[in-house]
Amino acid sequence: MPRHPETLITPNTLLSAARERLPSPRRPGQRISRSELADGVNAALDLLYPHRNLTAHYVDARWIGKLERGEHRWPSAERRAALRHVVHVATDAELGLYSPRRTNYPQAGTDHERGAVAGNGLAPVLPAVPRTSVAPELDGDEAALAIQQRIHRLNRTIDPDVISQHDELTNDIVSRYERLDHAEILPILVRQRAALDSLLTDCNRSAQRMQLLHIAAGTSGVLGYLAVGRARFALARAYCAEAFALAGHAAQPSLQAWARALQSFCEYYASDYPQALRLAQDGLAYAGTGPQSVRLTINGVARALGKLGDTDGVHCAVDTAHDLLARHDAPGGMPSSVSFGCYSKAQTAGNAATAYVSLGMADHAETFIDLAMPDVTRSGSPWSRSLVMLDHAAALAASKNGDLDRASRLAVDALTVSAGRPIIAVRQRTMDFIQRAATHWGDTTQVRAVRDAATSTMPAP
């Protein structure tokens, strides 16, 4: 909406201050940038309006700058809703947003009133409404009633059964994640996250709020993981950053470590390997030697270092992960990839294999594949099976006694296992195999067979 010609342009210090209170989702220890806030707004548009194409409403850092400078005060309703969601406020006024066309600028008034406009970035103060019989001053009895209402709000609690139901739902989805249809659980989690927001607004008991914050962090984290699988990286970053922030408010360092692992996972598949490494290393500061330390070391640090070509770093990370694993009562088999607990031996070995495949160290990769494969084969996860089979195919194609025939058959079988349920991890690893095999062997019949299988089983996103 164009500005009224008589509108005074004053910096929106409320919005600037709100942004500077938010932690950066990608740069540990720093404040969120205008560009990162714009990414969050765009992700929130997709989240809040899932059935509408709002790409025309997407914003950038320059748009955030105009808002903060006060050049623009009344964005579209959709953009305002997305901005409120990202900054965690309930009203436009809290962000210094108002419609200049609907605001009567005071031509007279106290210095204090005029200062509120220029100094705080708030909507101009309207003249006081004179007291009339329509809005009488409260007498003693009415004042007592208002006080009682405030006391009631302070004591608002949530039925413990409601909290338990939300907790059970999140834990059930996390524990059975590998066997569930992701398209079915996505809307369930979105509804749960919205319900938790409402409960947090209604609840004033600190113990219950901590429980709700913990559940909300887990829900947002799984939503972020799902978004990575669909290559929706802006949305994934927003969800994972929210999970980390909620875990911090819940005073749960282990949960913060879990959220950092998801953020590292997101950047790995977004091909920002230095950032994936930084986030995993920062997560270790929260994990200590706890259960999430294994995931962060092997899935975060080792795999990122593999992509960055740091052989010594990968060796060290793999050894450290196994040392950490020995300190815990690790689960057997292939537990959920988003588990709040410790990685299993098979998961640790599978991730080590991936790191060595990235380095082109086929012998090392095959050693860890042999350790992981029995549990992977027995698992109910089509994605885990596909990924380890693709690593095995890559190792076979790159080994000294390379067997391209066997490797290509294994790659095609891997795609068949997860056909119809493509995720970014399978897609990227397939493309890596095709590129490596074509570089090493040329565009052979076997390589073309894998490319054709990828086209038929993984339609373009």
> What are the CA-CA distances from residue 278 to residues 258, 273, 425 (Å)?
14, 9, 20
438 HSE (CA, 13 A, CB side): 12
3-state SS record for the chain: CCCCCCCCCCCCHHHHHHHHCCECCCCCCCECCHHHHHHHHHHHHHHHCCCCCCHHHCCCHHHHHHHHCCCCCCCCHHHHHHHHHHHCCCCCHHHCCCCHHHCCCCCCCCHHHHHHHHHHCCCCCCCCCCCCCCCCCCCHHHHHHHHHHHHHHHCCCCCHHHHHHHHHHHHHHHHCHHHCCHHHHHHHHHHHHHHHHHHHHHCCCHHHHHHHHHHHHHHHHHHHHHHHHCCCHHHHHHHHHHHHHHHHHCCCHHHHHHHHHHHHHHHHHCCCHHHHHHHHHHHHHHHCCCCHHHHHHHHHHHHHHHHCCCHHHHHHHHHHHHHHHHCCCCCCCCCCCCCCCCCCHHHHHHHHHHHHHHHCCHHHHHHHHHHHHHHHHHCCCHHHHHHHHHHHHHHHHHCCCCCHHHHHHHHHHHHHHCCCCCCHHHHHHHHHHHHHHHHHHCCCHHHHHHHHHHHHHCCCC
Question: What's the token pair of residue 343?
Answer: 């990685």
CATH class, 13-120 region: mainly alpha
pLDDT at site 155 = 62
Cα–Cα dist 154/46, whole Å: 34
Q: Percentage of the chain with pLDDT > 70?
A: 85
pLDDT, one tens digit for every residue, the chain (461 residues): 455 555 567 888 889 888 988 888 777 778 899 988 998 898 888 878 777 788 888 999 999 998 898 888 889 989 998 899 888 888 888 888 887 665 443 333 333 333 333 333 334 333 443 444 434 444 445 566 666 666 656 667 888 998 999 999 999 999 999 888 888 999 999 999 999 998 998 888 889 999 999 999 999 999 999 999 999 999 999 999 999 999 999 999 999 999 999 999 999 999 999 999 999 999 999 999 999 999 999 999 999 999 999 999 999 999 999 999 999 999 999 999 999 999 999 999 999 999 999 999 999 999 999 999 999 888 878 888 889 989 989 888 887 777 888 888 988 888 888 777 778 888 888 888 888 888 888 888 888 988 888 888 776 55
Cβ 225 vs Cβ 216: under 8 Å: no
> What are the CA-CA distances from residue 171 to residues 40, 189, 222 (Å)?
26, 12, 10
Whole-prediction pTM value?
Answer: 0.67
